[in-house]
Structure formats: structure tokens, C-alpha cells
Structure 1
């Protein structure tokens, strides 16, 4: 047997001292020495050792069943006496009983427990380990972000996950340790709950943690952005300083990126607006006076150490060109790829990214959420449309709800509404007798909704993601992300579902009904050609009792736009007001008969006359053109909606 790259003796000593470790996991440790496991199912290894990292990934994906069983038993054994599990299991830790008695739930089911913890109740309601913070999700509930429990150990799990990305990228891209990454990373607003726990987005939590600040020193983890610029709470100052540092170190940059495609494009737009000032700073060797954050003013001059006329002239030459096609490769010539999430709702930005990239690969490395980190893209250089994620079996216990799919209807939806599989899948929505399958039992080509049981207090929780099985790496299934359940509009981290959109439109149309106007039909789409992107609503209006178009008062229509925005959830409003990552909402009024024309087009593409209903969100370019060709008035929200941290 090949020598184990891990210090097995030290790990086993820790292993034996933890009374919660189960017999199944002990047996797995003996069978697979490279999987010597710390409490929490985390292998211990040197993250600078790429060979060890790849060996761990191979072991994890080879022994999926054993690891998943160990994860489930570890979670149940730890938490059997929590209030939540005790109510179903009466203190027992039997795995079969867990799946028989503990229900599959959504956020509304567990929200009361989490709110109790937020208000100061004991963590033992749901977790034997102390809840150390609450992670705010981009999903919504009642207009507010969801709050997910997190523990100190979970930060180590995320760090372990991030470390595994390094050997995968090094396998496919040579020489990444010879330079730096220009990653544009930002923190979001956070609040303190009545309990004293911080409530903040998952990435803000990680960037502010000692795990991030003290990350293993290897060249792959060296960024052009000093930590102080990433942690700057003023997003404009943070963006400016990170771009400035990235430009000064342009010859060292081997990869560029942000978390989401939308954030990276926002950085390009920011660069378009500020390149002259950035050049001036580089030319003089001084940071602009409006950069007032003390930490930024302290660290940026260390990088912008002296005047550099040559570099400023080069950047000025490239940025003053009429076209910015390929600008990334021109400004950072050694760049090997752009790392951004371009799956799910971020796929709408691919063509724009390709325009700016100069032919660089678009790499989506990971699949994660506030609830849990899920999977890794083992083929990072694959085309965005071919990206699949391999679920890492020691992150959580995974179950999947089979989702039925009508392939014929799917084709019609893609052609007509451009909603892809959103309306083509018959999803299980009831809470009784929901059938799940284990991770190792999924079938190639089938669709599933993801359910997780985590180390942090979520049990059989429906994440809301619809996935399709595309293959296997060893014994670990690989999934393509299809869509979020019920989400129809998304620009950044916002996720607006059909119900929320309907409620917002219903409030806005009351302004018109009082004047004798009626809203006959509406639909929407996410316009991502502008930066930042924005929501567009198409409205067909009429006078009461007549079919002619009313005279439109721009003030009233602008008020309708603002009312819709004020009625959307807190994540949307934060993106609009605080982050400036979403532009003003737009209402385009179309002439009478437009939605009949849209229906005719859909029927011509194969939709059933009897089953046709107006799509509340469209992505088909042809359908959008039909609507746009009949627009008689365009109106924008004039004020950003109110938002305060909640």
C-alpha cells in the first residue's frame, strides 16, 4: 500500500479521545488510512501537498457509501438529545429510524427554532455544538433573508473544502504557483441578533474569520488584494482599492475572478468609469483623497509604492480604445482563466464575459450555499454549459427527491418561454410521505431536488435546488445545476419567485386602478446587457370599459416602478440600495394585443392552446423581441427602495 501522506498517529490519538466518533467511522479509518478522520469527518492533511489533496479526493469519491453512512451516524449521535431530534427519535440514534421518523422540511418548518436561537434561546434546540453565528441566505422568506445556523467547526469544514480546490486547478492549469490571483472579494452588511450572535452572509463570515486571514501560505492563496481592502465595508472604496492593487501588480496576475459573474462584470463597469482616476493614482504614486478607510489608506500605498508613468500610459492606451473587447487579457496578459460562478442564474452573463475575456476559459470551481458547501467541479476547464459538480460526501448527509420531468413539455418551454426546465418538472411539494433516495442510488440522466442533513443543525432540509445527474467520478455522482425551485428573476444574489413578483405587481397596479386603468397582462425578464442588470416588466394596460391605451402619466408610472421595488424582498432591496448591484426597475408598457401576439408565437413553437398560460418570466430572445417591438412607453424607478439590516 502506498504511504499515507497524513500524520495518521496524531490523528488517531485525537480520534480515540472523541467519544462521539462511531464504530462505522472507526472501521472506515482502518480500511482507508488516508481517511484518518478528525471529529466532524474532516481528513487532516497538508494543504500545500497537491498529491495528498488529490489522494483524499479519490478516497472520498471512491468510498461514498461508507462516508455518507459515517456522516449520518456522526450527526445523529451528536445531536440525538437536541430538542428537535428528541421530538422525533426520543433520544435514539438509529439511522433507519431517523429516515423513517424525521420529516423532510423547508425553511418555514424550521424558522421558529432558528428565531428562538436568534432571540437568545439555547443552541441545544437544534445542535449539540454551540451555534456561533447565523448565516443569512440570499433566499427569502416573508420578505426577509433566511438565517442558517453555523458552528465553529463549520469554518474548518469550509476551509477544508476550499483547500481541495487547489489540487484540482493545479491538475489542469500549469504554473499557478508562479503568480497571484486578482480576486475581487467583498463583505456584506451584518447585524447582531438579540442573542448577541452575528447574522451575516456566508462569505462575509468566512472572509472575517481567522481561517481566511491565516489561510495556509502557498502561492495559490496569494491575492493582489490585501485582506484590508477585502474587509473594507464601503463597497466603492473596496472596489477601487482592489482594482488599483490589481493593476499595479498586473504582470504577476495569473487568474482573475469574483464569486459571481455579476460581481466581476460590475468590476469591469467600475473600471470603465474610473480608469482615468486609477491611471492618475498610478502615475503620481498617490491614492485618491476620497479613499478614507484607514486600513485601505495604510496598506494600498505599500503596493502603490512609487510613481509609474509607464504603467499608467499602458493602461490608458488600452482603456481609451473604443471597444473593450478582450480587455481582461490586454490589462492582465498572463491571465490563464476567469474564475466566476456561471451556472444557474449566472449563466445569463456568459456572453458578456466572453466579450471582455479575450478567449479566456470561464471556470466555475464549486457549488455551495449558506446551508452547506456541496460539490467541486472536477473538470474546471469544461464549457459553462457542461459544468457538473461532484458532491463531496463528508460535507453533509445528502438525500435527493426524484423530480419527474416531461421531456416533450420541456422542449416546448425552452422554445417558447425560455424558462428551461422551470415549468417542465412535476415537483413533490407535499410534506407527507416524501420519497428520497441516497446519494449513491441516483440514476444517470434523472432529475432530483437536493436535501441535506448538516453538522450545524439542519435535518432533512430541502435546499430548493434542482439537479440533473450527468455522470460519476468513481462512486460519487456528478450533477448539473438546473435551477432554483420557483425562482423566476435573478440579477445578483437576489432570487425573486413568481409569488413575490405577483404580490409586488398587485400592489403597484392599485395606483392605476384608482385612475380607471386596468393591468390586463404582465411578464418580466432580467436584463443583463446593461451593467448592473435590472428587472424589466412588460405591462399591457387598458381603460376600464374600453380597449384603447390610456394616456400614461410618467410620474404615476415611475411611482409604480418604485412600488414594485419597495414590495420585493430585503435581498433585492439591499442589492439595489446598498450594493448597487441591481439597476432601477423598468416598466415597459406595450400596446393592446401584444400578449395575444406572444401567445400566437408560443403556439407556433408547439405550446398547447388549451394549456397555454402567460409566462411570468421569459428568456427567449424571440419572445422578448415581440414584446419590445410593441413598446409604447418606458419608465424607471427614480429612487432606490428603502433598506435597513434586519
Structure 2
């Protein structure tokens, strides 16, 4: 029965047979959920004994006829450097349309993007029964010239957002257009974003531009804007229709303020889905949960590193995202933290709960034993399979004298300092090591420069600025020692104006998690040009 329905639906969709849209959506959803259930049962079996699964995956990743198992593989190949795609966008980029047989093959195949999306749809439907309604999901995701596949891409009728809107070259224009299409649909069940920064910046656009958005809704038009080509604007505008009632509702709700605005604009919304919600993106999730998205659960379904999909979150209602590392998606190795002088990796079945490990991946043929540049904490186990929490990115460590301050611990120190500034709330921040400044840093000892955007405060006294340096000294004894010796100079803190960080994210050129330590001079010059104090 499953095979017959799946084939019929997939073929009908592929060849464009005249199927009633609502019926097509329900049939395809049913078939996808059945396929997901089958793979979920298989995953339960694989999780019961991860070692054979890992050995099979490793054999598929090596050239045909390669002899030996994981021990021989580790002897033949030395540990690689950090993977060049370690900072690649989350998710898996552009995914081709679902082919008629792909759904069936997914039941016993090893295609992580398809299997990951099937597990996402199954998990989302189980936790939020109305979440898979046709046209009930709005997408806020920028693809830098090519649309990125949404989390539920095998079920395209899920989305009310035109794919072309996410492919606009301008990030700001793409998010504004997608926001307008989301505002048309009062009955949204799911609001999905590729990154929390994209949702954060789209809602910032709502705060500043809601009169113009309301006018566009009332007239059924798409206003000209920088970065939106006229031919693209014409095609997207053809999909709009005047809606004076919805425009009036938008004006009324925005006129009341913006706390909880998401739930008020979309009263049937059940969940906010973000593809990455850890590390540098946690700041935006916290800000959204406290204000615009107050009262709504956040669900981060996937864990990705080094350009590969590695894990899935099967617990959408838990506040801290945890990911099951799927044993047939990649061959995993782990370096215990802190690092040893002669590092020896351990395998998926050899981890200890509560410990931290650096991730080493073999996820693609030819890319063997690449350091992913990520540190994970083992939060528990599902049968034998580890459930992990991402801790930090190794590329985002501050160090001018070898003191090594990780991004998540610097963030905690910064939040503690901001708490000492009456009325201040942290909006965003980046750091720079003084070596990047060159001669402009002056003839002083190496130091950090920190650029922050605050709400509720437009200037700081020298004493207040020093609080951050003081917090770092209290939290990091090695930093305090270097400061006492004078080999590290005092931290310099700069306030930037509103809108500085969206411009910085646009300048990154691709949808990456926010870098907390800038390594490029052009990005440094951009943020320096926005300093107000």
C-alpha cells in the first residue's frame, strides 16, 4: 500500500497531473510521513549497535575494494586540518526537486538531506499536529542568488513563500519581500528561518517599516526597493492581491507595540523553526524569545558541520536543542577536550556522557578525517547513539597571547558587564584582535577591540567601559595575568549605531552564522564606520 500510494503521488507531482492541490498535499504528506516512520524505525535499530553502522558507512565513503576497517583507515590517513567548509551555511543549500523514486529509496537509502527532512516532518507533525497544513509555513531565508532548501523541502505545498523571493541578491530586499508574503497569511502555523539572524532582521524591518508594509498589503503591490530587480518585482507582485482587512490588522497590532507581536499577528502560530540556534546565534534566539516571539517555542531541527548534515533534533519541545548523531550519515571521530599532546581519536561508540569533544569527520568521499572546527558536549544517549549539544566554534576564539577565550565564555562575560550598565540591553556585538588593525592600533600592547550595539544607552563612561575588561580578568585568570604583566593591553569598547549589524551580515556575502571574531579587514572597516561613541 505504501509503495503504491508513494509512487502514484510522486509520479503525479513530477508530471504535473491535474490533482486537486489540497488532496495532493494530503496524499503526499501521508506518504512522506509513512516513509519517515519507516526510516525512524530503522534509525532505532541502527542506534542499538552503532559500530556496524559506522563501519558500513566508512566502507561506502572509501574507494571500492578498500580493505580493512576503521582501525586500518585511521592508520592510513593522518588527521586533517580544519575543513575549508567548516563555516559553510547551515543546512545543505539547494536541493533538487523530489524525484518519483527518491521517496521510496529513502526508506532504505543513505541520503542525509532527504532522510533529515523526513524525520523533521514526522517530528514536527507529532509535536504540533496542525503544523503541516497546506500553505501554513512562511519562510524567511536568504540564499545569496539561489534559494536555499527549506527544512520541509520534500513537501513544497507546505510553504506560502515564493522560492524566488529568497534568491534576490540583496539580503535586506529578500527578507522584506518574504516578510510581506508571510504577513498575507493570517493562518500561519509555522514561521521558519534559515538562521535566527534572518528572523531577527526581518522583524526589525517590521518595527521600522510596518506602515509601508501595511500599504503594500492594502494595495496588493510590491513597492520598489534597493536590491530588488524590476523584473523580479513584477513577477512577485503578480502573486499579490489587495487585502485591506489584513492591512488594517497589521496597523492595529503594530500600533500597540512589539512585545509578542509574532503571536498577535499570527494567532494560530504553533512554533518557530530555525535551522541553527546555538553558538553565535543564541543571542538572537534569546532576544526574540524575550520580545517579538514571546510565548512561542523555538525548534532547531538539524545539526550540520563542515557542509554535511550530521544530526537531528527529535525533541522539539525541549528548550535546549539536542541532536542525535545519525550513525549512517557520516563516519565520526572525536578528540577529547582539552587536547592532548598526541591526539588520539575515539569513535562514536566510545564517548562519555558530560564530556566535550572536538569533531573529526569523514562525510564525503576523498575528504578523510577533517577537523570540523566544532566542539560538542555529550548530553546523553539514545540507546548507543550519542545525543550532543554544540558548544563552540574553534575559529571564534579570541587570543592575542595564547590565552584562548572561547566565544561562549566571552559572551557570558559581556552579558555580565552589560548588566552593570543601568538601562542597557545588548543587541549585538563583534570582537577584533588588535593585529587586524595594523598601524591604526597604535604603539600599544596587543589587545581586544569590541564593537557593541546597545538599546537603552547611547554612551558609556570610561569607568563603565572598563567593566568589561574587569569581568574578563575575573573570569579568565590567564588573561588577568597577562594584563598585570602588561603583555596584553586594556580592552577598547566601541558603541555602534542601529543597523550596523544587518549591514555587516549583508557584507558577509552568504548566509553564515554570525562571526564573533572578525578576521577580514573589509568587515573591520565597515563596522568601524558605524561607531557613534
TM-score between both structures, scaled by the size of structure 1: 0.58
Deviation track 1:426-484 (CA, whole Å, cap 9, x = no partner) reads: 324x6xx4211110111111111111111343111110111111111122110111111
What does residue 367 of structure 1 align with?
303
Structure 1 stretches lacking a partner, 5+ long: 11-44, 81-90, 112-135, 140-144, 190-203, 404-425, 490-494, 532-585, 616-625
What does residue 268 of structure 1 align with?
203
Distance between the aligned counterparts of 2:261 and 2:431, measured in 1?
Answer: 40
Q: After the TM superposition, which residues 44-443 of structure 1 pair with which residues of structure 2 at under 5 Å, given as runs?
A: 46-49=31-34, 50-78=36-64, 92=67, 94-107=69-82, 138=87, 156-179=111-134, 180-188=136-144, 207=149, 215-217=153-155, 222-251=158-187, 253-290=188-225, 292-302=229-239, 304-305=240-241, 307-321=242-256, 323-340=257-274, 341-354=276-289, 355-384=291-320, 387-403=321-337, 426-428=338-340, 433-443=342-352
Q: After the TM superposition, which residues 476-555 of structure 1 pair with which residues of structure 2 at under 5 Å, given as runs?
A: 476-488=385-397, 505-508=434-437, 510-511=439-440, 513=442, 518-520=443-445, 522-525=447-450, 527=452
Distance between the aligned counterparts of 2:168 and 2:81, measured in 1?
Answer: 34
Distance between the aligned counterparts of 2:294 and 2:358, measured in 1?
Answer: 36
Structure 1's consecutive aligned runs of 4 or more residues displaced over 4 angstroms after TM superposition are 4-7, 91-94, 148-156, 212-215, 495-498, 501-504, 528-531, 586-591, 597-603, 605-611, 633-646
Instruction: Determine if contact 2:144/2:167 at 8 Å carries over to the other structure.
Output: no
Quick one: structure 1 residues 99 and 345, their matched pair in 2 at CA, closer, same or farther if it must change by over 3 Å? Answer: same
Instruction: Determine if contact 2:165/2:178 at 8 Å carries over to the other structure.
Output: yes
Quick one: structure 1 residues 477 and 454, their matched pair in 2 at CA, closer, same or farther if it must change by over 3 Å? Answer: same
Deviation track 1:602-631 (CA, whole Å, cap 9, x = no partner) reads: 67x57658973459xxxxxxxxxx989xx7
Instruction: Determine if contact 1:232/1:293 at 8 Å carries over to the other structure.
Output: no
How far is the alpha carbon of 1:51 from its aligned partner?
3.0
Instruction: Determine if contact 2:147/2:163 at 8 Å carries over to the other structure.
Output: no
How far is the alpha carbon of 1:250 from its aligned partner?
1.9
Quick one: structure 1 residues 450 and 589, their matched pair in 2 at CA, closer, same or farther if it must change by over 3 Å? Answer: farther
Secondary structure class of the residue paired with 1:59:
helix
Distance between the aligned counterparts of 1:347 and 1:460, measured in 2?
Answer: 29
Quick one: structure 1 residues 363 and 643, their matched pair in 2 at CA, closer, same or farther if it must change by over 3 Å? Answer: closer
Equivalent of 2:376, from 448, 463, 467? 467
How far is the alpha carbon of 1:205 from its aligned partner?
7.7
Instruction: Determine if contact 2:323/2:387 at 8 Å carries over to the other structure.
Output: yes
Distance between the aligned counterparts of 2:237 and 2:374, measured in 1?
Answer: 40
Quick one: structure 1 residues 391 and 457, their matched pair in 2 at CA, closer, same or farther if it must change by over 3 Å? Answer: same
Quick one: structure 1 residues 468 and 329, their matched pair in 2 at CA, closer, same or farther if it must change by over 3 Å? Answer: same
Deviation track 1:336-361 (CA, whole Å, cap 9, x = no partner) reads: 11112321221122331111113001
What does residue 12 of structure 2 align with?
none
Distance between the aligned counterparts of 1:608 and 1:643, measured in 2?
Answer: 34
Distance between the aligned counterparts of 1:602 and 1:453, measured in 2?
Answer: 37
Distance between the aligned counterparts of 1:149 and 1:182, measured in 2?
Answer: 18
How far is the alpha carbon of 1:230 from its aligned partner?
2.0
Secondary structure class of the residue paired with 1:395:
coil
The answer to which structure has the higher strand fraction is 1
Quick one: structure 1 residues 472 and 293, their matched pair in 2 at CA, closer, same or farther if it must change by over 3 Å? Answer: farther
Q: RCO (CA 8 Å, sep 6+): is it higher in 1 or 2?
A: 2
Secondary structure class of the residue paired with 2:292:
helix
How many residue pairs are counted as aligned between the two chains? 431
Distance between the aligned counterparts of 2:95 and 2:192, measured in 1?
Answer: 28
Secondary structure class of the residue paired with 1:380:
coil
Deviation track 1:185-216 (CA, whole Å, cap 9, x = no partner) reads: 21125xxxxxxxxxxxxxx5854xxxx79953
How far is the alpha carbon of 1:100 from its aligned partner?
1.5
How far is the alpha carbon of 1:106 from its aligned partner?
1.0
Equivalent of 1:448, from 354, 357, 370? 357
Secondary structure class of the residue paired with 1:367:
strand
Quick one: structure 1 residues 377 and 157, their matched pair in 2 at CA, closer, same or farther if it must change by over 3 Å? Answer: closer
How far is the alpha carbon of 1:92 from its aligned partner?
4.5
How far is the alpha carbon of 1:380 from its aligned partner?
1.2
Distance between the aligned counterparts of 1:95 and 1:342, measured in 2?
Answer: 32
Instruction: Determine if contact 2:433/2:447 at 8 Å carries over to the other structure.
Output: no
Instruction: Determine if contact 1:53/1:167 at 8 Å carries over to the other structure.
Output: no
How far is the alpha carbon of 1:236 from its aligned partner?
3.2
Secondary structure class of the residue paired with 1:178:
coil
Secondary structure class of the residue paired with 2:113:
helix
How far is the alpha carbon of 1:177 from its aligned partner?
2.4
Secondary structure class of the residue paired with 2:361:
strand
How far is the alpha carbon of 1:332 from its aligned partner?
0.9
Structure 2 stretches lacking a partner, 5+ long: 8-29, 97-101, 103-108, 399-406, 411-429, 485-489, 511-519, 521-533
Distance between the aligned counterparts of 1:236 and 1:598, measured in 2?
Answer: 32
How far is the alpha carbon of 1:233 from its aligned partner?
2.5
Quick one: structure 1 residues 338 and 644, their matched pair in 2 at CA, closer, same or farther if it must change by over 3 Å? Answer: closer
Q: Give RMSD over aligned pairs.
A: 4.4
Quick one: structure 1 residues 464 and 292, their matched pair in 2 at CA, closer, same or farther if it must change by over 3 Å? Answer: closer
